Amino acid sequence: MIIGSHVNFGNEQLLGSTKQAISYGANTFMFYTGAPQNTIRKAITPDLTKAAWQLMQEAGIDLDKVICHAPYIINLANKEKADSRNFSISFLKNEIKRVGELGVKYIVVHPGNYLKQDLSQALANIAEALNYILNPTDEVMILLETMAGKGTECGKTMSEIKTILDQVNLKDKVGVCLDTCHLNDSGVDIAKFGAYLDEFAQLIGLEKIKCVHINDSKNPLGTHKDRHENIGFGTIGFANLLNVIYEPRLKDIPKILETPYVEDKAPYGAEIAMIKKQTFNPLLKEELNKK
């Protein structure tokens, strides 16, 4: 099982992320190269990167499974605001370089919001932007995340994801990141995850799935909300999430927790322990609060 959580990047950059992942008992992780909410980014420091690689090797963390996530404000779908779209395109081009320097292979991107345009135009805009961004020599793959469908979010159905992928020229440079909270909120019943994967295999191909975000949801099926809950404390439930985590067809795919902090405490160490034990701990939040 390859499991971890999102972690900070901070002053020690990839080395700091690696240390944090190890402290959670994780064997992979996902990071943002700066704050998720903004696009201010510092240059990568090679010495810190080398130290991170060394530590990963010692800790048994496979660099090929480590994931980067692009900031939330990137929007490739909307052509009405040309400035913001052009900025998103140039940011992602630079991010591919930065992430390449770190030796990381994947960047998760939210496909975008279509605002006042129609959906099919927005999906075409996303693919067009990806065609500007991606180069044959890139060693980094962009993963489109399945979204909850909050507001005018693109990528809330398998067919929307497929429509984007079909229009991208460099097919081997794009993949998919599933998110269990987003799937639930978009209307996919995680209790029937096997059937979802069957359909995915037919329509897109399971080899396109390179990352799975494991989150419970605060909201019922199909409510298009996108509010994450701690593992086993939401509407998806522990057993259904375990089925996703231990799904044999996704065995080698990194599973990343993006569950909320409990007060000011990171829940990831406790959640990973609970997942490894395969036993739900209903007192997890109380125990974290006492720490």
Residue 145 found at the interface with Zn ion (CB under 5 A): no
How many Å separate Cα 237 from the centre of its chain? 20
> How many whole angstroms separate alpha carbon 270 and alpha carbon 30?
17
Residue with tokens 């605002």: 115
Tell me whether residue 125 or residue 215 sits nearer to Zn ion (CB atom).
215
Cα gap 106→177, rounded to integer Å: 10
Minimum Å distance from CB 40 to Fe ion?
19
- Which is closer to Fe ion, CB of 15 or CB of 74? 74
Interaction between residue 213 and Fe ion (CB under 5 A): yes
- Tell me which stretch binds Zn ion (CB under 5 A): 60-68, 192-200, 224-232, 260-268: 224-232
Binders of Fe ion in range 132-151 (CB under 5 A): 145
Choices 42-50, 56-64, 204-212, 226-234 (CB under 5 A): range interacting with Zn ion: 226-234
Nearer to Zn ion, 56 or 147 (CB): 147
Selection from Fe ion, Zn ion, none that 213 binds (CB < 5 to 8 A by kind) is Fe ion
Cβ atoms 16, 8 nearer than 8 A:
yes
Asked if 99 and 143 touch (Cβ cutoff 8 Å), the reply is no
Compute how many residues bind Fe ion; rule: CB under 5 A: 3
- Beta strand 141-145 pairing with 255-257: unpaired
Using the CB atoms, write b or e for 223-235: b if 16+ within 10 Å. bbbbbbbbbbbbb
Q: Based on CB atoms, which residue is closest to Fe ion, 15 or 223? A: 223
Q: Determine the Cα–Cα distance for residues 225 and 220; give it in Å rounded to an integer.
A: 9
The region of 50-58, 113-121, 212-220, 279-287 touching Fe ion under the rule CB under 5 A is: 212-220
Q: Least distance (Å) from Zn ion to the CB of residue 173?
A: 24
Residues 27, 6: Cα–Cα separation, whole Å? 12
Comparing CB distances to Fe ion, the nearer of 95 and 179 is: 179
Q: Residue 35's closest CA among 89, 72, 76?
A: 72
When the beta carbons of 13 and 215 are compared against Zn ion, the nearer one is 215
Binding positions for Zn ion, 18-77, rule CB under 5 A: none
Is residue 226 a contact residue for Zn ion (CB under 5 A)? yes
For residue 137, with 0-12 CB atoms within 10 Å meaning exposed, 13-18 middle and 19 or more buried, which class applies? exposed
- Token pair 């259904």: residue: 240
Count of residues that interact with Zn ion, criterion CB under 5 A: 1
Closest distance of CB 7 from Zn ion, Å = 17
179 touches Fe ion by CB under 5 A: yes
Output phi, psi for 225, to 5 deg: -105, -50
Q: Applying CB under 5 A, which residues contact Fe ion?
A: 145, 179, 213
Q: Applying CB under 5 A, which residues contact Zn ion?
A: 226
